[in-house]
Amino acid sequence: MSNLSNLKGFVSCALDCTRFRLVRDEADTENEDLAFKPEMAHQIFGESESIFGYRDLRVDVMASAGALDLFFDISYSKKVDELHAEGLKADDVEKALAAIVEDGCYYTSLDEFKRVLASKSDSFQPFGTKVDEFRYPAVGAGKGGESSQAEQRTFEVYVSSATDAEYMKFHSRLEMFSFWFIDGFSRVEIDPFWMFFTVYERYEADNNNEAAIEPRYATVGYLAAYKYYSYPNKVRPRISQILILPPFQKLGIATRLIEHTTYEYFSKLDNVADITFEEPIEAIQHIRSVIDARRCKMLPAFTKDKLLAGFSKEMLEQARKHHLINAKQCRVVYEILRLGASDLDNEEQYRAYRIEVKKRLNMNYSKHRRDLARAKKRGVDVTAALCGLPSVAERIESLNAEYKEVEEIYGLVLQKLLLTTP
């Protein structure tokens, strides 16, 4: 028993001992300031996100900034002795890492990785067709409404298809990061209906020669969209995955992809019904809601009088026609804008708004009760199902809590609208 208690020192938190670096040249391999940690590790090391069998474990993952060639370095001061651990074996860390590299191609020799880095860094080029270019900070975003060229960073977006074999090899290495930063992530299948909007930063390296400044590219992240069929002759692109690597976050890149790049791309196609999102995380839904609310606010169907009159078919039609917004998201936008249009000090107006939102929140519960009532009339025993439902009092309490949370979220969107609307 005492031996097992001593093994606690051989348990490491994967989130604490794992570090990533995106390296542009050999000097970056030694630059500790470039290191960043994962957001999650349960998809690699299990729900506990722990690694057993090592003391002072350190897992370093380096990727060349452009092509994303991978280097794994696993170091520790001591490894558990199986003879004194009652048969317990140390976790195979390299095997766990290799499992999320689809083509199995990675390096464990730093010298070899440096040679590959040197040979590819100046020749790597983006895959696919260029569809967007933007700068950060944007022109006029600096002090006094100006931002110098030296301060600006340039980003380019290229669209690729899953039918591009070379791109998919590259994308499999980019997906390696998704396991650490997208919860519930799974690799996409090779399917011609998948599209990828990949972002790269274009930068310059002078190679110690002022006369030969060559542009280079660093991979930033991607947005994956699947073109679903929409009856009778259209497609409905669904945004499935968005990953912006941590060194490039908080630069407005995800917002740019949602608000401009994909919207501009799909709006030019005649066969697109609308654009949907697959269970977006809270941060992405917030970005989406701000963008869509700002757009719909300018439509004739979303005037204050019409918002206070209630949700309408006119809103659905205009949101879809002008901004490719689907029905579910249009309803969310309506509720956000109606909250902004309502006088919360006017009890009648505020009460009408709360009832409107709560009706939507309660739809599934009410439908389930109606379905059970119909089944009971047909002679079906629904006693067990009814027992599983919350009481009316319990449902009212939970509904009030749901509404409060929704109003808080909508309030944050409205605050952002005030800050971003000219």
Return d(Cα 280, Cα 326) in angstroms, integer.
14
Q: Is 49 known to be catalytic? A: no
Q: Token pair for residue 119? A: 């040979």
Q: Which residue has the tokens 């990949």?
A: 198
214, 278, 314, 397: the catalytic one is: 278
Return d(Cα 299, Cα 319) in angstroms, integer.
8
Q: Which residues are annotated as a binding site?
A: 249-255
Q: Which residues are annotated as a binding site for acetyl-CoA?
A: 249-255
Q: Could you give the residue numbers annotated as active site?
A: 278
